[in-house]
Structure 1
């Protein structure tokens, strides 16, 4: 049953709708039909709950979209890959005002690569079959980027994984389309081969955009004017600023990740908007990782009187989230969390709110804080100060940040050891 729940969370379907989404009888059991669906090769993108566009309707704010292949597969020649990707993008160019241009250097809107295993985007591939590829929705940073699992056998036929069909599906995500519940649709989450000769984009898969005029009128040469700065956009904070403050820090898959909020959250080391990695997360107040389960939890203020928390495995949202803080055992008076950290040696998670902190065993079903909490931070964790903005664990020590500085703390010995500046973690 746990395996069943994990599979459907990996493809982004909430538990009550999981089998129904794939056209199965909603038994909740691991029957033969469900096993057959689970064994199909599939797309690695997780948002299958909202079709036909992602939450918030992300789209490109331009009509010429550049793309670049940085790593090719040895399964096909470079020219075969280039021709196939151009053919897949043309499916969308034929039904939208978008034009696609391949470039050979620099940063393109859609960066493409064939790569196995862990490749630095918090969504590692899983070897042959399983997840074939994934792509990010439109946006800055990773937005639009498309990755293919090099452990697959890439072909242009019915054998192996047909690159044209997989690329056409993933480019749908890169243009803002989510998964479809129509089993014959290109955007259905599991891979299915169809004859690609003369293939055209099914109407159910077409983005809602004005079609191109036909025939296409001649285009005048155009010099693109410099883009005026967008007063509503949030600049990436300077990670080497001695006055750098943290809003949340956690280790994710062994990588120390600073989540700096400023209207929008950024992963500072990667200079990415957090929403380009974890769909639906735009602001983070606190975060922590439970390493045994490879699960990350994000806390953010939902409105002025309420905060909720989200669970992700990789970049896949777990079913049943977001949840209320009361599900963790907080009283109704707590409307937000300033910082959180899981202490591996004690199998406890600490939650900081104002001048106090709570502690609980990592157990999602228990719903109860440890007895005797909350406690005052400066009395129980002497030497770290009165408040905490962000906290994380690294090599047996806890690091508590407030303002631009932080305190290294040994939890077992209950002793502060040294003071640091936040920017020292930023590879400056």
Structure 2
């Protein structure tokens, strides 16, 4: 280029400037062909995906960040299936039901984090969630065959549904009328805990999987126990959707069971009228369980019927470790109940259904930071 300029002088320089100006003005490729633009997500599509996830329930946009969940596949969605009104028929078609109401269960292996006795209590409590609203009964056996077989295992374990280590898939179970009916598998590598946020709550996951064993599918109803995604809720309770589903399959509790409970816990008062109550407790995730206490008995008030349940009053012995003649009661944000009497209080664990060890304690010392009483005379 330098030799060209030297040979032709100013005319060559002028020609070069014209060529450069023409090249600068030439149009480039359209923006729609930009590689970055083609790979960028389109905002209209993103809006559709978010709306679809939100419409499925399961705690809003749970699927967007892949929280821990049950390993049982979700049922196929169809128009009109978002409402709980269609859920009962789907249970029957997807899971079927057992032809019995009295079940045996066996625990094959246990998680390493928890002692066996606690695991057995939690499994029994998880099954009781379902037996409380149905005529079903569950009895543990330690040998031989069982209707429900519970195992803590890891990765590939023989059913083509491998676990994935901590997080992700927590457990899975098999429906009635299938080749593995009654099998319940928990991921051994999870950090299993009981009634706290320190790990994965075994009670909630177990109760969910037992719902599958009994024939229930996943539900899109928010806050239901049978939602596919794990969210810690305490204390554990069935939603109205869960209750309607299981009672569609097996019916409501038999009246004879209520009679047997009354015989085991005979009330001291022959009426369900509440007079001169000493304390009241609003309990549950939504504080929708209301209990009234008086003397040696207690009543449960049903807000939906605006009446006291007809199997009450019951004896205070049901609240293991709580004294009679309490003065007050309340629930904390973690679901524990506190019972106050005189200068002492008792902390009640709804999972183990008893007062925690180390109680009673002094109200003034723990709640008001009063100094410990002196033993000097």
Query: Into which bin does the TM-score normalised by the smaller protein fall?
Result: 0.3 to 0.5
**TM-score with structure 2 setting the length:** 0.48
Higher strand share: 1
Q: Normalised by the size of structure 1, how large is the TM-score?
A: 0.42
